[in-house]
Structure 1
């Protein structure tokens, strides 16, 4: 069983039109979905990639909509003790946006903002059985985590300090600043990088975590995005390792990203 403490392991879309979003991502990424059987107060759809469940889709809650929330993807970080971690991370520069509380049949969670203002959630599952993070690059799952940091230096220190992530190579992006590779697994025995942190560009309205979903051929995926009413913001662009990425918004306006391959021919 994978130790999820300090790692992103569940991804959630809050959207203005859950059914349309499920159809869009089902076509673009290949997800299947099923309703969650628990009592969350709102319909919740669990989405699965090729290696099993990875996240959920739900409507933006009325109170959040009244506060101006627009469609967005959020990520849950595993916690062994949500209350203790919320306090500990606050002392390290984060901010509690929603105090720890229980979700019936799911577990205990809290909503946090890192020092630069990007939102993430803490979650301890109600069941002692944890989820296994799939190995490799299974289609439909998250292959990369990217933070557009509101405060690059403080955020990097926060994630590598308070959450125990490991720094990898730092790449100079000129006027855009530094792109710092990070690994959520931690320690020299786990050298694989799982994401990157970079300063939020001026075009980005707020600091945010961006999640890259794994697809096959990137060009075919681009066609599915545009055919389904999404908008490609950037790419396809080749990245180290021989893969290609795009950044896009879905038809409801939530930002997401894809990582795939391109036929050499």
Structure 2
């Protein structure tokens, strides 16, 4: 079945030390990282999950990146017609800040700021891949299973992404003084993530990704043993699993989801 616009199709870490990052995420998420076989990709590392499917890329900042530009994790969202998506985003108050640019043998992408100033990457692939970096399945260890937007204006963000990708607001979980954790609807039965107020929660203004692990406590302990830090959780979430947020050895935030085996 063809994927809809707005589906997360790739995850990418820009970091000063590719090899250190590869070792960290191999330990925490069970990834295996190898250089891309395409010489044009300039040493780009492709991380595969334990099931052998590609899930993420690891790269150092390219020479063309402006000094002081942010590094860390980014999500690539599907845009079947990149030019139309960029034009629509501009109509909605967004702004293209990089690209469009071709990636040889992969596709064409651009980096946007949404109407609230949050960065996101949109990509028109050359072809639809059989692998699924974003896979909401019980045993998809190492795959992303949830995305989360912390934004100063959740209502405005729903309006922006609703017009851009067709997303809807599908209920919410109250968080008291921190506002609501509002769920994203992306088609019948599809709930890829949620949005929340960065102002009320004091969360960094960004898109965040959560990767599935078989044991949340073991993953946290492993991250801490490899110079990572726990910044949130583990907190129980609907369905019985737990979520946590860590930062890797270079200060880049990423989310984890999984069961507490010790408590089982």
Same fold (TM over 0.5): yes
Secondary structure class of the residue paired with 2:142: coil
CA shift for structure 1 position 39:
4.2
**Aligned position for 1:214:** 212
Tell me if the contact between 2:158 and 2:168 (Cα under 8 Å) persists in the aligned partners.
Answer: no
1:18-77 CA-partner distances (Å, limit 9, x unpaired): 1000000000000012211224463201111134011100002234351x1343100001
**Aligned position for 1:239:** 237
Tell me if the contact between 1:115 and 1:158 (Cα under 8 Å) persists in the aligned partners.
Answer: yes
Q: In 1, distance between residues paired with 2:224 and 2:38? A: 34
Which residue of 143, 154, 161 corresponds with 1:152? 154
CA shift for structure 1 position 78:
0.8
CA shift for structure 1 position 205:
7.7
Q: In 2, distance between residues paired with 1:39 and 1:90? A: 34
Listed as ranges, the gaps of 5+ residues in structure 1 are none
Listed as ranges, the gaps of 5+ residues in structure 2 are none
Alignment of 1:82-121 (within 5 A): 82-121=82-121
Q: In 1, distance between residues paired with 2:220 and 2:256? A: 9
Q: In 2, distance between residues paired with 1:172 and 1:197? A: 12
Secondary structure class of the residue paired with 2:214: strand
Tell me if the contact between 2:85 and 2:164 (Cα under 8 Å) persists in the aligned partners.
Answer: no
**Aligned position for 2:56:** 55
Q: TM-score, normalised by structure 2?
A: 0.91
Q: In 1, distance between residues paired with 2:190 and 2:242? A: 18
Q: TM-score, normalised by structure 1?
A: 0.91
CA shift for structure 1 position 101:
2.0
Q: In 2, distance between residues paired with 1:160 and 1:85? A: 13
Check if 1:74 corresponds to 2:70.
Answer: no
Check if 1:181 corresponds to 2:180.
Answer: no
Task: Describe the shift of the 1:16–1:203 C-alpha distance in structure 2 as closer, same or farther (beyond 3 A).
Answer: farther
Secondary structure class of the residue paired with 1:102: strand
Secondary structure class of the residue paired with 1:219: helix
Pairwise CA RMSD of aligned residues?
Answer: 1.9
CA shift for structure 1 position 238:
0.6
